Every structure is written in structure tokens, then in C-alpha cells.
Amino acid sequence: MTMTAPGSIQADSSGGLPTHPGPVPPCPARGLVCRNCGATFGLIAEHACAECFGPLEVDYDYDLLKAVTREQIEAGPQNIWRYVALLPVGQDPADRVSLDPGLTPLVRADRLAEELGITGGLWVKDDSANPTHSFKDRVVSLAATAAKRLGYRKIAAASTGNLANSVAAHAARVGIPSFVFIPSDLEPGKVVQSAVYGQTLVAVDGSYDDVNRLTSELAETDEFEDTAFVNQNVRPYYAEGSKTMGYEIAEQLGWRIPAQVVIPMASGSLLTKVDKAFRELTAAGIVEATEWTIFGAQSAGCDPIATAFEQGWDVVRPVKPSGIAKSLNIGNPADGPYALDAIRRTGGSVGRVGDDEIVQGIRDLARTTGVFAETAGGVTVAVLRQLVADGRLDPAKETVVLNTGEGLKTLDPLEPVVGPTHRVEPSLRSVRAAGLIG
Ligand SMILES: *Cc1c(COP(=O)(O)O)cnc(C)c1O
Ligand SMILES: [Zn+2]
């Protein structure tokens, strides 16, 4: 394994409280394994297999995972690092480069359940409560911590918005340079939140897939040799951050895996890692063995995984994305085949919804739960409605839907359809004329 280079990324711990007072647990990661051919590697800074170019994933020592207990996790900090005994990096708190996201609310959604006819119980996992208001803080904390460990000095990303916000904020927190590349047509809320941290922000006149191709080329240049692209060269570590969403759901349900989960998909990584988290908790004996079903959600403007699911394909054909759910607009999803596998293996399905349904989904969730989701959350709620309506999701079983981002970041599609219900002069007469009092 590459060791930390002198002068590489250091967390500024001044002013921070000690986050993990207990002894440092052993790192449970054995190395990286190719998901395609099974070749194994050390904990290196690569995301593609040297043998077959397949994607690499962190591989664990299941004996170490089996030693992890609920009590040990519960005694940890109130953030993702309580699961560090199940993660590949960050065992020593001093090594972490993190905004300490996680333990976001699991909100009981009884009113939405009633409206949709769900009787088995409905919950919203609300990741808008993370420090930069999306689930991406989980993956960036893992990626930035791995970057430090592997000796990188800068972090970077190609992003559909939320990743940009989180990478720039993490870099600002520890005082390292970051380089974030976004499609130039992102929502103003996401552009401002990426720019405010005072880091390098490059708007690219192209789609996310164009941006991703550009950063792959940049990663090969001398200037970016010391830069970790969080979702490219350290992607195996980045991806593990998404597992914490699955761990939290189980812990917040009282160490139980829910029967059904509905998950929005961009690259498909989050979905595969929630499934991995459930498998690990089961294998480690932390939860009782049970069956679960995973459903994927996409927008009609970017539905390559939905199409592959319907057609029975194992591979995903790239599309040119459009539509308002920009955080999900990845036309060539890297984890598409693995997401399809998790969905099919658990007996799930994929729904797709158009822009009007997405806006309705945002409004339905807000109106019935008080949670204001970004467009990706609108996709998930609208897909939930669709899955119940056509009988693919069992309304008698406990269901969790993921809200992965904050509504204030994507106000644009809401502005034309919601606003003040009345407009009055500052007088009782005017309020009376408006019909609010008799
Ligand atoms: C990135 C993102 C996702 C999906 O991420 P993948 O792991 O690439 O599928 C979902 N919701 C929001 C809000 C995101 O920003
Ligand atoms: Zn391989």
C-alpha cells in the first residue's frame, strides 16, 4: 500500500472535539477485488482491474466483520464514523478528512403512507440533513480520507452538483486545493454552493458524461498527478461511503433490515452499496437474516438502467440525459450492471417518472412529511407512487424511501408552480376581502 507522503492532506483538528475516544479498531479491508474477474489487489489507488479493466471494489475480512457488535457501533460518534469497523479507511480519527456526515433522520411518513395506501409502514431516510445537504458527504468523506492515506495532495471531481458541493466543502475544511468540474447548465443553487467555498470550480459546456471524460483525461496529466479524483481513481473507497446509509437505516429501525427500499440511481453506486450494507450486516450477525427487495428510481429524461431492466439486458446502453432531475443525469452509469444485478437478485424493479411527476413527488413529500427534497427525492417519491399503483411494491410490507438531497438546491422547477396562496394589503379589510376571515 502507498504510504502517506510528507506534506500530504492533513485534517486541521484544531477546535474539533475528539470523535472516537475508544481504541482504534483494526482495518477490516483486505484489499481491492475486481467485480468482473475476481482478481485481487492491495488497497491501491486504482478503480479499474489491471487484468480486465473491470471495476474494483473493497474486499473485507469477514472474520473481522463478524467480530463487530451493535454495542461497539452504538458507542461510536453520532456520524458515519460509528461504522468505521465496517469501512476501509479512517480507523484512526486523526486520519479522517471529513465533515462528519451521517445519522440523518429516518422520518416516519404515516400521512404519505395513508395517501398511497401503504399499510406496512413507510419511512423517509432524509439525507438532506447532511453538512452540504446531500448524501454525497458520505462518499466524499471516505474518498478524501483514502486520498490522504494514499498520499494525494489535492482532491477533484466531475459532478452533477451535489458532489461538487461536498468536495469543495471538504477541501475548504482541511485547507487543501480542490478542482471541481460541472456541466455549465447546473441549477444556480448548486453552482453557488460549489463556488462559495472559494475553491476552483470549472463549468464545462457539455453534459456530465462529457465532463467525466474530460476529468479522466486530466487525471493522466502531470499537473493532476497528485490529485485524487474522488469518483475516479479513488472510486472504490468513495463508493463504500454509501454503505453507511444502509447501516443507518437498519440501526434506526432497531437493527432490522426493511422489507423494501426505493433508491434513486445516477451511476447506480448508491443502490449497490445499500444492498452490500444489508448483506454485510447479515453476514456479520449484527441483524437477523431476512429478505429484502430493492427498487431503483430514474427519471424519464435519463433512464438507461430502467430500460435495461425492462429489456432484460445485463448491460446498460448509454443515453443523452435531459430533464429536471439533474443530479441523476448520468447517461452512461458506471455501476448500472451491478445495480441491475442487485435489483433482480432481490426481486425488485425499476420505475421511471417524467418531470411533472417529479415536481408532484416533491410536493407530495413536502405536504405530507415536512421534508423538502430536491428533484432526485421527487423522482423517488413519484416512483414509489407508481410502484404501489401498478402492484410491483407490496403495500403491506415496511418500506423505506431515500431522500438524497435538499430542495433548496433545486428551486427552479418549483418556482412556477408554488408560491403565496394569497396576496393582501397590510389591513384586516384586505385580509377579509381575500376570504381568510369573515
Ligand atoms: C449522486 C446522487 C444520487 C445517486 O448517486 P449514484 O450513487 O451515482 O447512483 C442520488 N441522489 C442525489 C441527490 C445525488 O446527488
Ligand atoms: Zn478483472
Residue 363, phi then psi, degrees to nearest 5: -70, -40
Q: Calculate mean pLDDT across residues 25-34.
A: 94
Residue 56 Cα to ligand 2 midpoint, Å, equals: 8
pLDDT of residue 9: 55
pLDDT in tens, 338-356: 999 999 999 999 999 999 9
Closest-approaching ligand to the CA atom of 41? 2
Residue 217 Cα to ligand 1 midpoint, Å, equals: 23
Q: Which amino acid does the sequence have at 216?
A: S
- DSSP one-letter string for 280-317: HHHHTTSS-----EEEEEEETTB-HHHHHHHHT-SS--
Average per-residue pLDDT in the chain? 94
380 Cβ closer than 6 Å to some ligand 1 atom: no
Mutation test residue for ligand 1: of 124, 127, 135, the one with most atoms within 8 Å of CB: 135
What is the distance of C-alpha 336 from the center of its chain?
Answer: 15
Sign of CA dihedral 245, 208, 151, 7: negative
pLDDT of residue 2: 39
Residue 242 Cα to ligand 1 midpoint, Å, equals: 10
Separation of alpha carbons 182 and 164, rounded Å = 7
Residue 149 Cα to ligand 1 midpoint, Å, equals: 25
Index of the ligand 1 atom closest to the CA of residue 127: 13
269 Cβ closer than 6 Å to some ligand 1 atom: yes
Looking at ligand 1, which residue's alpha carbon is closest to its atom 14? 327
Index of the ligand 1 atom closest to the CA of residue 263: 10
Separation of alpha carbons 179 and 158, rounded Å = 9
One of 3.30.450.20, 3.90.180.10, 3.40.630.10, 3.40.50.1100 is the CATH number of 106-132+240-409, namely 3.40.50.1100
* DSSP state, residue 254: T
pTM summary value: 0.94
pLDDT in tens, 55-94: 999 999 999 999 999 999 999 999 999 999 999 999 999 9
Index of the ligand 1 atom closest to the CA of residue 134: 13
305 Cβ closer than 6 Å to some ligand 1 atom: no
pLDDT of residue 257: 98
